[in-house]
Amino acid sequence: MHRILFATSEVFPLIKTGGLADVSGSLPPALQALHYDVHIIIPGYQDVLTAIKQKKQIAEVAIPEHNATISLWETRLPGSHIKVWLVDFPPYFDRPGNPYHDTKGEAWPDNADRFALFARTVTAIALDQCDLSWKPDLVHCNDWQTGLVPALLSLVPQRPATVFSIHNLAYQGLFPRDTFDRLQLPEQWWSPEALEFYGQISFIKGGLCFADQLTTVSPGYANEIQTPEFGHGLEGLLRHRSTSLTGILNGIDDQVWNPGTDRYLPNPYNWKRLEDKQLNKTALQEHCGLTVDPSIPVIGLIGRLVHQKGIDMVLHVLPELMLEPVQFVILGSGELEFSKQLQYLAQSYPQKLFAFIGYDEALAHLIEGGADMFLMPSRFEPCGLNQLYSLRYGTLPIVRAVGGLADTITDAEDETIKSGIANGIVFRDAGPMSLLQAVKRALDLYRKPKIWKKVIITGMRQSYSWETSAKQYGALYDKLLRSEKSSNDVLLYHSG
Ligand code: ADP
């Protein structure tokens, strides 16, 4: 049984700011079901350590570069048998709120030190230096917070294989040169072939340059990030590594996101009992103080309120859309300016527009269950999860044709409707006018109940299970470990 150490900065349900947590909470159990022995490792954030009742300390690890001794705690991923290890170092992680920034949305000033310490601890465990009687065959790292792990491991000849997954290339972990010096990293890494990126240190390059295998969360995004439009300056490097880069579409946790059993829905339903979805719509309209009327289409939007998600375009078209017979429910948090504008508009149209600024798991489920449509006008979208939840919940996705959105949503045109593959509305240009037209097309479709039903049932019957994705990760691990074994055999042959 292959042993996999899964290093991540967030995991649902212990700590979540976005899709990475969903992946980290779902992929390891799906891999375990395929007989991989997976352990998860995350930083010991205050919120997590205080919330967990069942935990034990299993090791103390000295990290000399940080003058630190960390405590390693062990718990289980709720609802599974997967072990989760928590890297506890109070000066870095015992603080309230978000893993990456303070309550004002400002990045923690010591983020480089925090995630470098985390990476050094993961590396020590990966090299079996902590008396844990468990040595991984492969370390699976995720996003810039773990980028230094493949780099540090590359310094050791006899080491586990490494996989680095890109969940969002826009977040790179860039810090000034003096950070590089403070972190006591090998001087040869200050080079464009390694961690240097236009005069700064880039944590994500640790993963991109040094991991044995790269993955990202959809085939579409794997292609896009090799182009200047989506590559954030790293497209050349990614093209260089293209034979080691695979796109594997995320799955969804179909226990958590199942309209038939969803504990947050007053009226669970499935594609055979679509009339019950209407009752959730009423509950949503009531919850949001909107006019309660089953005939008015409700459009939902959930996500980080940032430029990536096209929230500025939504703000641009909302006043015009408010002239249509339509309601909007928006749930999100992020940039202050977007939040303010949304709240202002919501106050101007109290019966048609509801905006909740904050994080609310229950409301997210009620929106998926109660809304008729779901809007995702992203400028780029590595995979996107909400369009997959929306498919499952019979909530028509209206998406821009990028990354994972383009991979999963087929536009409702005459031909695709006829052939039974249409499952949403897709638009191309990243501009408010295209967005507006797409929403209007969705509203037109809504007025044709027979076709509408056909399109949403197509989506509801599609499957995006983690099992399919986990099998692809498993195949990748196996291939890597086979080639790793043969190269180690060669090494032993030469040295012996
Ligand atoms: P990203 O990782 O770029 O933020 P994804 O679509 O991959 O976007 O995943 C976002 C996840 O976070 C989804 O599960 C979504 O429902 C959830 N989410 C985002 N914002 C909120 C919020 N304000 N309240 C509740 N859930 C949220």
Residues 235 and 321 in one domain: no
Between strands 138-142 and 3-7, the pairing is parallel
- Residue 22 Cβ contacting ligand 1 at under 6 Å: yes
Residues 366 and 416 in one domain: yes
**Do residues 404 and 381 lie in contact, with contact meaning Cβ atoms separated by under 8 Å?**
yes
| Calpha distance 227→209 (Å, rounded) | 17
- Alpha-helix residue ranges (DSSP H) falling in 37-99: 46-51, 90-93
- Residue 355 Cβ contacting ligand 1 at under 6 Å: no
Domain presence at residue 357: yes
| Calpha distance 301→386 (Å, rounded) | 9
pLDDT reported for residue 487: 59
pLDDT reported for residue 488: 54
Domain presence at residue 17: yes
Residue segments in the chain with a per-residue pLDDT below the cut of 70: 485-496
Domain presence at residue 195: yes
The residue whose CA has the least distance to atom 17 of ligand 1 is 18
pLDDT reported for residue 281: 98
Domain presence at residue 258: no
Residues 218 and 294 in one domain: no
Domain presence at residue 312: yes
- Residue 310 Cβ contacting ligand 1 at under 6 Å: no
Domain presence at residue 226: yes
Residues 292 and 426 in one domain: yes
CA dihedral in degrees (62, 65, 66, 71; nearest 10)?
Answer: -20
pLDDT reported for residue 453: 97
pLDDT reported for residue 69: 98
Residues 394 and 481 in one domain: no
What is the per-residue burial (b if ≥16 Cβ within 10 Å, else e) of 126-156? bbeebebeeebbbbbbbbbbbbbbbbbbbee
Residues 25 and 69 in one domain: yes
Relative to the CA of 385, which ligand 1 atom is closest? 6
| Calpha distance 384→335 (Å, rounded) | 19
C-alpha closest to that of 93 among 73, 78, 124, 114: 114
- Alpha-helix residue ranges (DSSP H) falling in 34-131: 46-51, 90-93, 111-126
**Do residues 204 and 164 lie in contact, with contact meaning Cβ atoms separated by under 8 Å?**
no
The residue whose CA has the least distance to atom 27 of ligand 1 is 303
pTM for the model: 0.94
Mutate-to-test residue for ligand 1 from 17, 165, 385, highest number of ligand atoms within 8 A of CB:
385
Residues 73 and 216 in one domain: yes
- Residue 304 Cβ contacting ligand 1 at under 6 Å: yes
Residues 110 and 246 in one domain: yes
Q: CATH code at 381?
A: 3.40.50.2000
Domain presence at residue 267: no
Structural domain count, the chain? 2
Residues 76 and 189 in one domain: yes
Residues 359 and 286 in one domain: yes
- Residue 339 Cβ contacting ligand 1 at under 6 Å: no
- Residue 359 Cβ contacting ligand 1 at under 6 Å: yes
Residue type, position 162, single letter: T
Domain encompassing residue 155: 3-251+466-495
Domain presence at residue 263: no
Residues 143 and 161 in one domain: yes
Residues 219 and 292 in one domain: no
